[in-house]
Amino acid sequence: MAESEARVTANAEQVERSQSSIGFIDRALSFLSSVKLGITLMLLLIFFSILGTIIIQYNVDGFEKYYASLTPAQRQLYHMLGLFDLFHTWWFNALLILFSLNLILVSIDLFPKAWRYVAQPKLRATPGFLRTQPVHRSFRLPHDDGLVDRLTEVMRAFRWRPTVTINGPYTTVFAERGVWNRFVVFIVHIAVLVILAGAFVGSRWGYEGIMPLAPGETANAIRISGAPVLGIPDRMQPLPFTVVCTNIRVDLRDPDGPLAQGNFDNWYTDVKFVKGDDAVEATVYLNHPVDYEGYRFFQASFSPQAGEASDIVVEVGLPQGGQRELTLVRNKPVQVDGLGRITFVKFYSDFGFADGQPRSVGTDYKRPAAELEIVRPDGRRQRTFAFSPEIMTFIRTETNMAEKLQVGGYSFTLKEFTRAPLYHVLQVQYDPGVDAVYFGFVLLCVSLIAVFVFSHERVWAVIEKHEDGQTALHLAGHTNRNPIGFEKKFTSFVEALAPPGEEITSRT
């Protein structure tokens, strides 16, 4: 007896315990899915975002100066908490993930409620129910068989879709419009989640770096910069293809002005992407990125030093006497009858020798020269130089090149050239999440506008027949947005209906 009692108590305890654990999960879930938590998380995100702009982040211009102004204790503390790269710390990301989780759970929690609300509208209303609505009015009128028709007609004129239901002494005319508006909120939340997911993918598996390219240079990796002050080294990220720079060109505002930031109008990098046998040519310039194999190449900056040329004008001395001028763009072959195919391949701004090889020994266009490659009609490849007339004396007296300067009786003189910086710097982005982010952007724009421009409106009319030949007409309405605007609309609805009787109540 006592034993069984004890067992019962134990069972009860067990049940209680399991209930309390269910209770705990329930409580945790309802906490995680509460709008209040969402608002609190938003406030936390606001707080830390502000902190992240007050404490200058390591990748923002002016960080070195700011870092130098901190005390060693501050540096150590901020460093420990990751405040120099706050937006990429684990705890900030955890906050974002918690925020996403909250968004998902709130939506899961609210969706069935919204669904029930929309799927089961109150078709059999009573005057008592109508009085609980934010706007409602009642009239007493003489009995009229055409009242239901008149109600549906006016409701249709207001673009509400009516349904008539008879329920005992009451006839309910229920009408609504913009039901879908109840669900757009979920699309807004989905859009935010898509953006966050895309951003997560991008930050986890994507990267961005730079690629300096001089004309003629080949690169197959990008440099991802670290933060020297914080001890994060730069690293090289290999690419699955090769980038060949065929030429770099600039547009100057003042063509005779300096090759400096203020004088640049635009700058172009002609590249060739090579992957196996596949080669694609493209030009990267300002506000005109180029996509290749999921990578995006942007024009970012340029060398502060000049010293290259993008195109040249060469005077060709013909064997039979006389001359003709040729404009040669770097790496763009030009056919010259009798001579063959001629290509401008290399430029020297200050021609000289180092280790016995022709080199550019300076960067100030002191002794400009261009190296040309010529493919003769018989297929022989020959290299030669075009020097500017001023340095021909130097070439004749200081070098033994003078005899090499003729190809098949043709001679070459450099007349003009268009200056270019030593190299351009491309910014390279690899972001597998960017499409999702863009999709989220579009979804967010459309859904937000749809949410706030439209609303869900419901109106009820309950006709209550009295035995004395009188009819009571109760009208009520409800909306999810802009209640004051709806009140006005409801008033004009009543005016359009113009019930031929006296008003019983007129309260809002």
Partner 1 sequence: MRSKVDSPMHPFAATSWSLRVRGSGYGSVVVPLVGALILVLAEWRTGFLRLTSETPLVMLTLISYLSGSLLFILHLAQRERLLERLGLFVCSLGLGLNLAAWGMRWVITGTVPLSNLYDTALIFAGGTTLSALVVSTRYHQKIIGAVTLPIATLLVVWAVLYGGEVVDLPPVLRSTWRPIHVGLAMSGYAVAALSCISALLYLLKDGVAIEAVGLPAMLFVVGAYAFVSGGTVVTDGVFTLPVSIHGARIPLDATRTEFLRATIPYAGRIFQLAFGLAVIAAGAFLGYVMVGKDLFKRIGHGVVRGALVVEAVGLGLLFYQVSRVQSVVSWLDPQQRGLLSDQWLQRVGAQMDVQFHSDPIAAVAVTAACGLTAFIAFFGWRGDQIIEALPSPRALDNLTYRAVTVAFPLLTLMVITGAVWANESWGRYWGWDPKETWALITWLIYGAYLHMRITHGWKGRRSALFAVLGFVAVLFTYLGVSFILPGLHSYA
The only residue of 434, 454, 464, 472 in contact with partner 1, by rule CB under 8 A: 434
3 state DSSP class of 207: strand
3 state DSSP class of 173: strand
- Complex with partner 1: residue 16 or 495, whichever CB lies closer: 495
* Binding of partner 1 by 443 (CB under 8 A): no
* Binding of partner 1 by 52 (CB under 8 A): yes
DSSP 380-408: -EEEEEEE-GGGHHHHHHH-S-GGGGEET
Judged by CB under 8 A, the stretch of 3-11, 54-62, 345-353, 385-393 that binds partner 1 is 54-62
* Binding of partner 1 by 427 (CB under 8 A): yes
- Complex with partner 1: residue 33 or 360, whichever CB lies closer: 33
DSSP 217-280: -EEEEEEEP-BGGGTB--EEEEEEEEEEEEEEEEEESSTTS-SSGGGEEEEEEEEEEEETTEEE
* Binding of partner 1 by 208 (CB under 8 A): yes
How is residue 89 annotated by DSSP?
S
The only residue of 75, 122, 150, 296 in contact with partner 1, by rule CB under 8 A: 296
State both tokens at 175.
């009408």
Are the C-beta atoms of 136 and 130 separated by less than 8 Å?
A: yes
73-102 positions binding partner 1, by CB under 8 A:
87
* Binding of partner 1 by 501 (CB under 8 A): yes
The only residue of 10, 28, 42, 402 in contact with partner 1, by rule CB under 8 A: 42
The only residue of 273, 298, 344, 412 in contact with partner 1, by rule CB under 8 A: 298
- Complex with partner 1: residue 289 or 317, whichever CB lies closer: 289
> How many C-beta atoms surround the C-beta of residue 258 within 10 A?
12
Q: How many CA atoms lie within 13 A of 230 on its CB side?
A: 21
The only residue of 1, 2, 3, 61 in contact with partner 1, by rule CB under 8 A: 61
DSSP 330-352: TT--EEETTTEEEEEEEEESBEE
* Binding of partner 1 by 62 (CB under 8 A): yes
Alpha-carbon distance values, 226 to 64, 76, 209, 229 (Å): 13, 19, 10, 9
* Binding of partner 1 by 36 (CB under 8 A): yes
Are the C-beta atoms of 288 and 302 separated by less than 8 Å?
A: no
The least CB distance from residue 197 to partner 1, in Å, is 14
Are the C-beta atoms of 417 and 328 separated by less than 8 Å?
A: no
Q: State the burial class of residue 111 (Cβ atoms within 10 Å of its Cβ: 0-12, 13-18, 19+).
A: middle
* Binding of partner 1 by 372 (CB under 8 A): no
The least CB distance from residue 141 to partner 1, in Å, is 9
Are the C-beta atoms of 369 and 388 separated by less than 8 Å?
A: yes
The only residue of 349, 429, 471, 479 in contact with partner 1, by rule CB under 8 A: 429
Pairing of strands 410-421, 290-292: unpaired
The only residue of 15, 43, 77, 260 in contact with partner 1, by rule CB under 8 A: 43
The least CB distance from residue 287 to partner 1, in Å, is 5
* Binding of partner 1 by 504 (CB under 8 A): no
* Binding of partner 1 by 438 (CB under 8 A): yes
* Binding of partner 1 by 289 (CB under 8 A): yes
The least CB distance from residue 50 to partner 1, in Å, is 6
The only residue of 18, 20, 399, 491 in contact with partner 1, by rule CB under 8 A: 491
Judged by CB under 8 A, the stretch of 32-40, 122-130, 212-220, 335-343 that binds partner 1 is 32-40
Are the C-beta atoms of 42 and 113 separated by less than 8 Å?
A: no
Task: Please give the residue ranges that form the binding site for partner 1 (CB under 8 A).
Answer: 35-36, 38-39, 42-43, 45-46, 49-50, 52-54, 56-57, 59-62, 65, 87, 199, 208, 264-266, 286-287, 289, 296, 298, 300, 427-429, 434, 437-438, 441, 444-445, 448-449, 452, 481-484, 487-488, 491-492, 494-495, 498-503, 506, 508
